[in-house]
Amino acid sequence: MINYLKRIALFEAVLVIAILSLHFIAARADPYAFPNNWFIRDDAYYYFKVAQNIAEGHSSTFDGINITNGYHPLWMLICIPIFALAKYNLVLPLRVLLMVIAVIQAATSVMLYRLIKAHLSHAVAILAAVFWSFDEYIHTTVYKMGLETPIAVFSLVLVIYLLAKFEKEWRTKQIPLKRFAWFGLIAALAMFSRLDLVFFAVIIGIWIIFRNTPIRYFLPLDIAVIFISMTSSVLLRTGFEEYNTVYASSAIEATVIAIILKSIALYFFGAYQHPRSTPIWKTLRQTFVAIAVGSIFTAGIYILLEELGMGRNFPRSAFALDFIISLTLISASRLAAYWFANPNRIQAETPLAQFKSNWKTWLSEGAAFYGVLGGLLLAYMVFSHFTFGTSSPVSGQIKRWWGSMGVTAYERPAGSWDSYFGLGTDAYQAALPFTEIVWQVTDKVRNTFIRGADMEGERFFTVLLGFVMVWLILLFLNKRRATQALTNLGFIPLMAGSAIHVLSYTATSYGGAKEWYWVSQMILLTLACSLFFDFVLRPLRRVQYLNIVLISAALLYGANSANRFWHGVDYAMPRGYFPPDRPLMEVIGYLEANTAPGEVIGMTGGGNVGYFIKDRTIVNMDGLINSYEYFQILKAGEGPMYLRERGMTIIFANPRLLALPPYYGQFAPYLVRYSSYGGKDLLYLLEEPKY
């Protein structure tokens, strides 16, 4: 029994077979089930149709008219050969893609299992791998939509897995420069899987280049803290509505300046030395001086830029709030570091002496890592600029434009503190599915403390704080094991990158965030919960037979989870249930019956319709999968004539939506309704305005 349970390869094989088998059953389902029960998100079909067009030689376009870069490049590269099969059958690529995603999911789960087993325990590794493989929310959000999330998660876990191996190697042997270039390539893989993972990719360089100094621990967290501090200081002065519509850009500009200046000040004033090399009071004094100097220079430079006309409106009192907040949080990090650090005092080394002895190594390794990472990013931006007219995806630019409007037809930017920190009840729920247990506890205690239907948020955050405090107490009680585990699991770069990732949306007036954005947070919390269970179960594992019981219980949990997953697949993806002649989407039958072949039809979304409709062309009107030129035209209020000149004669949309920002009613004078379906109108787009 013991030898059986210790055979890691056997568990991995069973897990992979289970994942692939269950997905193979789904892949054989009736065609109708794919757009209605599996790949149901409109956004996924943006990829599918563009990939089909690229494979057929029509360039990077959704409609065959406008070129677009509104997607993450790595997933598009994966989709292109798959959707070359669309010329034979439109459902065939969906079947193939489902299995490709299953392979990626299986590989990710195995890497998580190996990572956690190597650095925590066997039972916890089984729990984590099974949870990631079969949890309903994880599967629905990451793997079932057909979006870029599977390759993004795989890339993240791959980076962390390689970092764990690197952590052992650099302590025992010299690392060649080509290894840093290789890490730059792997970090670029993560970045191109989802471009907003660029922050995590950049921080990885800090983690490996400064591996033998406290800088690797302090700098990533300090960057995240300064980002939080500066933007939240502006928010405290302005409120969310005014921040999103007026101050977001200037807050980000000031944040970039603050990160650079405060990091330099913290280094040269000695706040990046070993926590035990000097008395804690001296470290706190150095931190105070560094933050004060950094804050003064940040304020001075930004005010000067503002006076020269190069800066934007900025609430100057926010600089004082930023000083207080950043000083408090960074000082707290130094206190925590002092507690966790090895009590054997390390000989202090002045910042200048450290810099003189290490700058050549830092420069060469940094050039190898960031040369590859930055070079590939620059190549992508230059290619996009000359090919598409803009260096970044137009979809992200459009959504930030939406966020600056205040009220739009689409989702609004973060409008509360819980959303700002990724804990909202809207699209900014970066901690799901892990906060579900917090909500369950909150529901159970609603009649015992903080009573009242209007106090639900207060109860939630109180319970959440309780969970966090228990986790922190376990960390402090197991500080040596915690330090090793957090280091080996790449917890600090992942945590800092995840925090900055959330703020890159919530602090930049981004409108239209989606639940699948938060992949790094899911991985981070999976590792954090794994560490929690490791601490809780550790006393039991010391008893041989209890350890066997724990592993057996984890395997039973896995079998039960796989069984529940199977029932979900069996229900959603039946075979021989739907008539083969049933239209894949009812709306497509309506459009084909009420429009002529060859018609160019505008829709505010239209991803799935654009993929499945026959002999018609769907043009995306919200701009997310349209051209940068159309984005500029839409902002100028000249969308109707632009689209009419490109052959669009029909619009299928809700006219009330077209009256709101970002459309501002610019289409209304050109529209005549002639039919309705499902809450939308079918409208003629006139050549000349009616009024």
Domain ranges of the chain: 1-30+69-174+543-576, 210-348, 393-541, 586-685
Strand partners, 67: 61
- Whole-angstrom CA distances from 531 to 6, 303, 463, 550, 647 are 21, 45, 20, 15, 58
pLDDT at 150: 97
Return the percent helix, strand and coil in the chain, to nearest 5.
Answer: 70, 5, 25
> Which residues of the chain are modeled with pLDDT < 50?
1-7
pLDDT at 8: 52
Q: How far apart are CA 382 and CA 392, in angstroms?
A: 9
Dihedral in degrees, nearest 10, Cα atoms 45, 50, 55, 58: 140
pLDDT at 149: 97
Dihedral in degrees, nearest 10, Cα atoms 221, 222, 225, 227: -110
DSSP H/E element including 595: none
Q: How far apart are CA 285 and CA 595, in angstroms?
A: 74
pLDDT at 345: 60
Burial 55-68 (b: 16+ CB within 10 A, else e): beeeebbbbbbbbb
- CA proximity to 318, closest of 415, 223, 247, 413: 247
pLDDT at 4: 40
Joined together, the tokens standing for residue 178 give 């080509």
3-state class of 627 per DSSP? coil
3-state class of 568 per DSSP? helix
Burial class (CB in 10 A: 0-12, 13-18, 19+), 116: buried
Mean pLDDT (the chain, rounded): 93
* pTM, 2 dp: 0.94
Backbone angles phi, psi at 650, to 5 degrees: -130, 140
Q: Are 388 and 626 in contact (CB under 8 A)?
A: no
Q: How far apart are CA 52 and CA 93, in angstroms?
A: 10
Measured from the Cβ of residue 393, the count of other Cβ atoms closer than 10 Å reads 21
The amino acid sitting at 654 is N
Q: Are 53 and 64 in contact (CB under 8 A)?
A: yes
pLDDT at 2: 47
Dihedral in degrees, nearest 10, Cα atoms 479, 480, 481, 482: 40
pLDDT at 456: 78
